[in-house]
Amino acid sequence: MSIKRKLQAIIKTSLEEQNIDFDLDKIVIETPKENKFGDYSTNVALLLTKVLKDNPMNIASRIKESTNSDIIEKVEIAPPGFINIYLTKKVLLDEINKIITEDKNYGRNNVGNNEKINLEYVSANPTGTLHVGHGRGATYGDNLSRIMSFCGYDVTREYYINDAGNQMNNLGISIKERYKELCGLDCNLPEDGYHGKEIIAIAKKIYDTYQDSKLEEDIPYFKQEGLNILLEAIKKDLDNFRVNFDVFTSEESLYDKGEVEKVLNSFKINDNCYVLDDALWLKTSEYGDEKDRVIVKNDGNYTYLLPDIAYHVNKIKRGYTHLIDVLGADHHGYINRLKGALEILGHDSSILDIEILQMVRLLKDGEEIKISKRTGKTITLNDLIDEVGINATRYFFASKSLDTQMDFDLGLAVKNSNENPVYYIEYANARISKVLNNYQGNLQTKDKFNTIDEDIAYNIMNKLIRFEDTVISASVKRAPHIICNYVYELASLFHSYYGAYKFITEDSEYTEERMLLLKAIKIVINNSLNLIGVIPREEM
């Protein structure tokens, strides 16, 4: 049980002793910004003012008097009715043993209670190379899946392959035209075709293998070849970026199984759509959308919304109780229409959450970079990784809330100085590793710690004991950047400790206890970084 949950339970018991019925989850336990206000604080007395019709200071005083626990050193009240709680040094010291014993599992919990979550992210169209925007979405989706899994959710990581529709036909046409060019024929690339170097490379691969023997093949052949090659390249790039998936679902497969037609027929049968200007419109405005939406165009082709609805119904039928989609900023208006469509079909739209990622600006020397010097095109994810490395790329993407526009400072990301947050954290890990490697003793957990008494050490231990609550918060709020903030602050506390004290001395007990504390810090740093896909260096 996390420390906040323990404190909630203690306050709940205190309230019950006074015959006050109050929901455990409504007892908010917070970490004060200043140590003088305690290790933790709660405003429960303020919340009870209207219920009990009493002054919050009086209520806080009664709660204080009936609050007893061996993990609490003292309780103080402060105007207008806050209850400030100080932990015992023993509970902080005991946490060192707990961390070392649980090691990689420290902080793992079961808040999710094995709820089946489908988390869809990246889902880039297989028509080109991943760019930096895809990298930010990939980082967020992968980090959130790591964090939620760590918190006991049953998470499926899913990639939706948009392999049907006009864009894929244009891909097939573009590859065939480039192939014809290699065969010595005229190349007539359509204006809305794909002009990237990867299209030329695919055509060349086909030509190198078959020469001109594929000239009689129709567009579907070239489309499938392009899809296979580009999707494989995307998977390879994502794997290199430490991003993996459990499921790849094909849009085309939804058509093949008749699932798109089934959804369309359901709309028609239940009078949830109408014809206007020879197009078929869905009545999403009756379910929270700002207007109705076209699902079948006047030329008979389906809009992208219809198969997307079928795809989400497919996920619901697979037994997921919650769906999370990570989509680009241009999909903001998409949320209500998709939720409305699910409501029309009889599903609770609250099952779906759509996380919108904002744009990324790459900066160097204060100037925005919009194109790759190597290709003259939009900067790809691989360009960025080549420039700053995987750790820095993942940390910087993870460090900001997804719903804010991000400025990615390339110069800062490669700096070997304390200004660079990922370097600063890795340096803490490397420093601890060096000290532990220089220690000659055999580290074992202790029944009692006798020599740790520095204020900075207790600040560190207070930070360590908050790790589980931090992970839970990042999971519930779906905010991986909370982990980045936490591990940076922990690294900062360690560096202060390192600069002020010696860890290895002639006093064996003193040294052993500091080694155990350092080992605990290292475990929590590594567990934090693992949740955001960063592999720290052991030496620098």
What domains sit in the chain, N to C, each tagged with a CATH number?
3-87 (3.30.1360.70), 92-108+417-531 (1.10.730.10), 166-240 (no CATH)
pLDDT of residue 440: 80
DSSP secondary structure code for residue 368 in this structure: E
Rounded to an integer, the average pLDDT of 444-463 is 93
d(CA 473, CA 496): 26
pLDDT at residue 373, as a whole number: 54
Model confidence pLDDT, tens digit, residues 280-322 = 999 999 999 999 999 999 999 999 999 999 999 999 999 999 9
The two structure tokens encoding residue 133: 């925007």
The pLDDT, as a whole number, for residue 116 is 98
- The pLDDT value given to residue 33: 85
pLDDT at 195 over 90: no
Determine the pLDDT at residue 459.
95
**Displacement of CA 184 from its chain's centroid (Å):** 49
Q: What's the average model confidence in pLDDT over 473-486?
A: 98
Does residue 352 surpass a pLDDT of 90?
Answer: yes
What average pLDDT does the structure give for the chain? 94
Binning pLDDT at 50, 70 and 90, where does residue 5 land?
A: very high
pLDDT of residue 196: 83
How many whole angstroms separate alpha carbon 482 and alpha carbon 477?
9
In Å, how far are 3, 59, 80 from 22, measured between CA atoms?
A: 19, 13, 20
Q: What is the pLDDT of residues 245-275, one digit of tens each?
A: 999 999 999 999 999 999 999 999 999 999 9
Smallest CA-to-CA distance from 243 within 154, 400, 137, 356 is with 137
At residue 375, the pLDDT reads 56
Task: Give the pLDDT score at 197.
Answer: 86
State the Cα–Cα distance between residues 276 and 295, nearest whole angstrom. 12
- Report pLDDT for 438: 92
- Closest C-alpha among 144, 141, 158 to residue 112: 144
* Per-residue H/E/C for 296-356: ECCCCCECCHHHHHHHHHHHHHCCCCEEEEEEEHHHCCHHHHHHHHHHHCCCCHHHEEEEE
User: What pLDDT does residue 115 have?
Assistant: 98
My answer on whether omega of the bond before 79 falls inside 30° of 0, hence cis, is: no
Burial 306-320 (b: 16+ CB within 10 A, else e): bbbbbbbbbbbeeeb
∠ CA 22-24-27, rounded to 5°:
85
Q: What is the pLDDT of residue 461?
A: 97
Please, which pLDDT band fits residue 496 given cuts at 50, 70 and 90? very high
* pLDDT higher than threshold 80 for residue 376: no
Whole-number pLDDT of residue 458: 95
Share of the chain above pLDDT 70, in %: 99
The pLDDT of residue 166 is above 90: no
